[in-house]
Structure 1
Amino acid sequence: MNITKEQIDELNAVVKVAITKDDYKDKVENILKDYRKSANIPGFRKGQVPMGLIKKQYGKAVLVDEVNKLLQDNLNKYLTEEKLDVLGNPLPKQQDNFNWDAENLDFEFELGLAPSFEIDLKSKKAITHYQIVADQKMIDEQVERIQKQYGKLVNKTEAGKKDEITGVFKNEEEGIDKKSNLELDQISNKKAIDSLLGKKAGDVVTLKTKGLFKEDHLLANILGIQADKAENLDIEVTFTIEEINEREPAKLDQELFDKLFGKDVVTSKKELEARIKEDSEKQFEQQADQKLLNDVTEYFIENTKFDLPADFLTKWIQSTGEKPLTEEEAKAEYEKSEKGLRYQLIEGKIIKENDIQVQFDELKDFAKGFIKTQMAQFGQMDPKEEELDNIAARVLSNQDEVRRLSEQLMSQKLLKLYKEKANLKTKEVTYENFVKEVYG
């Protein structure tokens, strides 16, 4: 067997594979001998079928199968030994009137080659790294929410602005019949608020759904309907009041602090506010880091210039899809995936040049940290190390989970690299201003 490469240009090449009869003859003959031993052909005893008949019936199929195995094994070996960085997989060139009966068989494969390019982690223009802080307004709102959540309900005879009203919403035409709890400070429509103020249990109020609540998702929840149905819903519903309650805020005392954080962890309102600030900013850090990762990724894609073997990749997409694609469909598919492919190449080069690796012990520790966080959400604050090890072992036995966790850990490592080496400017903002700047 002889394998040679013809370079077409920087991004395209053709590999030629010449196979002689000596490369496959012995293997094919041995397989056919095995076939002869077990063949059941009418008129012949088992094991006594003439070899000529076996070759006639099975010879071509066995030959094709063995040659394809030779091609696959040796082509992959050649690409590895020659250190060819290929995109996609080698594509066999169409050969009309190919003769499988010839002594020598010649094959050609098209290759799409990865481009050469340089990456400079230090961008010319500094990329913003947001540092989101919890301001006093946010802390005060969170304290108020905690007091409200852990407060007690006091029954009232008439509805006031800060009260909670339990009742039944109805509209026969739309099939709405839902008992819900309504807080007056959730309502944005002044006319609706005025119509509820002063009402008592047993009163019936008609409300218009359009623009009723400050937050759009509340309409679907309170009426018990699908979100798409609630969107732009403009009808009238009746609301029959059953109960009116005022939520008396919980006192900021040691009993509440212990309930929230454990015994004597927090002992004053000042410490509560400090804890809220710390916890909030930890959560904000994840959002800021994701924003930074997205921005650095986008910068590299936009500013790292290189060509791709577009024609080859389009052809490769066309030939390897789950269903047959036309040339136009394959081209459209390539255009959709080009940006992602570019970043895969960029990320791969960054990982290689900076020798970033995910070791199994690191992955196991990462999985245990993830498991510990999940357990804490269900009140298991201090799981034993043996328990974490057992759960991590089960998680890491699933290849999909291994891939998912590896990607997350690699993203963390890349983020650490960018924070150390990229040209960043820190911008301190409140969460409210972060949302305005990032999401408009």
Structure 2
Amino acid sequence: MEITLDKHSANQASIKITLNEADYQPKVDAKLKDYTKKASIRGFRPGKAPISMVKNMYGVSLMVDEINNILGESLNNYLKEQSFRILGEPLPVEKADDSIDWKTQKEFEFEYKIGFVEGVNLSLDKKTKATKFEIKVDDKLVNETIDNLKSQYGESTNPETSEAGDSIYGDLKSVEGDFTKSLSLPTSKISKKLAGKFIGIGKDAEVSFDAKEVKKDEWTEAFGLTEEELEQAKGGFTFTIKNINRTQTAELNQEFFDKIFGPDQVKSEEEFTTKVKETLQGSYDKESKVFTEEELKKVLVEKAKIELPDAFLKEWLLKANEGKITEADVEKEYPIYAQQLTWSLISNQIAKDNGIQAEHEDVIEKTKEMIREQFASSGLGSQLEASMDMFVDNYLKGNEGQNYMNMLTSVQNDKVLAFVQEQIDMKEKSISIDEFKELLEK
């Protein structure tokens, strides 16, 4: 057997494996003898058929199977000995159907394409700079949140005459064409000029307006039109009112406090405002942590400058998911895949170099945290904790054990990111909610 490697570029190569008769025939003969002992062939008692007949009937298929076994084992062992890191799986170089004569040929040559990276070199020191974002919850957001809660938990009524801020249920129709849709229109989500047409009127009233009076985002956010329906948002429209919905905002009293945070958790407006701010801050602390880590990954990916075998990986993704995705799908999703793959290479190298390892206990604790967050608003409390071990066990065994492996990877990533932040120069930056939203849109 001869195995040769031919590097075409810094990250792609071909491997040729040449087999001669001595590499596979002894194992084929052994299997043939064993098969002869068990073969049931018409006209002969089981195991009594001449080996020449069995060879004539099954020799080629046994040889093909054995050659495939040798190829797989040899290729895997060869790749394990290399210093580079294989990406994806080796791809066989396809040959014409008649290029191999299995009956007469004694020597065979097979070729595979591979993609790889030579190594990940990333120094972690104070020369590497990144930003640790902290989102500050201000009074404006707290007040908006309280107003939303008062509306959400307020009393709903159906007045005879509409006022500003009401939601109007009715039928939207195009003046020209067949478009019609029944919907609930929140007048607070459209311009004041257009909303004025819906104020001071009652059931069965018809409001007329032109599509030009409605902004594109209002068509989707207020009228609830889909992308397909947006194409018909042209010309004149009528809106026939069927019902008027109004919510009387809830009062800031003990009953309201108990609905939001549970019985006797807060007992005054001041305590309620403080609790709302703490809850919002806790939520945004998690968001800022995730955002900081994603931005940090980008910094490390840029610093590592890993050159992926893009052409090979796209071909491998297409063949590995044959029939499920198209070339267009691969082209569209590849940038995200490449970013995730690059980070995975970096994370694994940092973990290896610094002895960072996810322990079973870490996986259990992280799973418990996830389950607590999922059931945070359920009110189960002590009941959840009493059954926590069962919930954790069921989740980690799910998806044929893949959930456990995913959680293991997540824990290692957490440890790697925490380690990196200790090694590099992390500058803290406090930002507002609006600034955070702007960063997300970039």
Q: Normalised by the shorter chain, which TM-score bucket?
A: 0.7 to 0.9
2: CA distance, partners of 1:147 / 1:102: 83
Matched, 1:140 2:143: yes
2: CA distance, partners of 1:422 / 1:261: 40
2: CA distance, partners of 1:154 / 1:47: 88
**By how many angstroms is 1:139 displaced?**
0.8
**By how many angstroms is 1:111 displaced?**
6.0
Contact in 1 for aligned 2:86/2:117 (Cα 8 Å): yes
Contact in 2 for aligned 1:21/1:104 (Cα 8 Å): no
Deviations 1:111-134 (A, max 9, x none): 655313421234746322221111
2: CA distance, partners of 1:310 / 1:197: 59
- Evaluate the alpha carbon distance shift between residue 360 and residue 116 of structure 1 in structure 2; reply closer, same or farther with a 3 A threshold: same
1: CA distance, partners of 2:296 / 2:333: 23
- Evaluate the alpha carbon distance shift between residue 200 and residue 320 of structure 1 in structure 2; reply closer, same or farther with a 3 A threshold: closer
**By how many angstroms is 1:257 displaced?**
0.7
Match of 1:377, SS state, is coil
- Evaluate the alpha carbon distance shift between residue 98 and residue 354 of structure 1 in structure 2; reply closer, same or farther with a 3 A threshold: farther
Contact in 2 for aligned 1:289/1:415 (Cα 8 Å): no
Contact in 2 for aligned 1:210/1:232 (Cα 8 Å): no
**By how many angstroms is 1:98 displaced?**
8.3
Contact in 2 for aligned 1:186/1:215 (Cα 8 Å): yes
1: CA distance, partners of 2:308 / 2:439: 34
Match of 2:57, SS state, is helix
- Evaluate the alpha carbon distance shift between residue 334 and residue 309 of structure 1 in structure 2; reply closer, same or farther with a 3 A threshold: farther
Alignment of 1:192-231 (within 5 A): 192-212=194-214, 215-221=218-224, 225-230=225-230
Matched, 1:119 2:118: no
1:391 — aligned with what?
391
1: CA distance, partners of 2:331 / 2:189: 46
Deviations 1:396-440 (A, max 9, x none): 112343344344434433332343333222211111122124415
1: CA distance, partners of 2:317 / 2:163: 66
Unpaired runs of 5+ residues, structure 1, are none
Matched-pair identity in %:
26
2:346 — aligned with what?
346
**By how many angstroms is 1:174 displaced?**
3.5
How high is the TM-score relative to the length of structure 1? 0.79
Deviations 1:67-107 (A, max 9, x none): 33234234434544666643344566899778887888787
Alignment of 1:319-330 (within 5 A): 321-322=320-321
Alignment of 1:24-423 (within 5 A): 25=26, 27-80=27-80, 85-90=85-90, 113-122=116-125, 124=127, 126-153=129-156, 156-171=159-174, 173-178=177-182, 180=184, 182-190=185-193, 192-212=194-214, 215-221=218-224, 225-230=225-230, 233-244=233-244, 246-307=246-307, 313=312, 317=316, 321-322=320-321, 339-398=339-398, 399-423=401-425
**By how many angstroms is 1:110 displaced?**
6.7
1: CA distance, partners of 2:157 / 2:371: 40
- Evaluate the alpha carbon distance shift between residue 160 and residue 310 of structure 1 in structure 2; reply closer, same or farther with a 3 A threshold: closer
Question: Pairwise CA RMSD of aligned residues?
Answer: 4.0
2: CA distance, partners of 1:263 / 1:21: 82
In structure 1, give the amino acid aligned to 2:437: V
How high is the TM-score relative to the length of structure 2? 0.79
Unpaired runs of 5+ residues, structure 2, are none
1: CA distance, partners of 2:79 / 2:221: 59
Contact in 2 for aligned 1:123/1:423 (Cα 8 Å): yes
1: CA distance, partners of 2:264 / 2:15: 73
In structure 1, give the amino acid aligned to 2:346: I
Match of 1:178, SS state, is strand
2: CA distance, partners of 1:70 / 1:48: 29
Contact in 2 for aligned 1:5/1:16 (Cα 8 Å): yes
**Alignment length (residue pairs):** 428
2: CA distance, partners of 1:156 / 1:339: 55
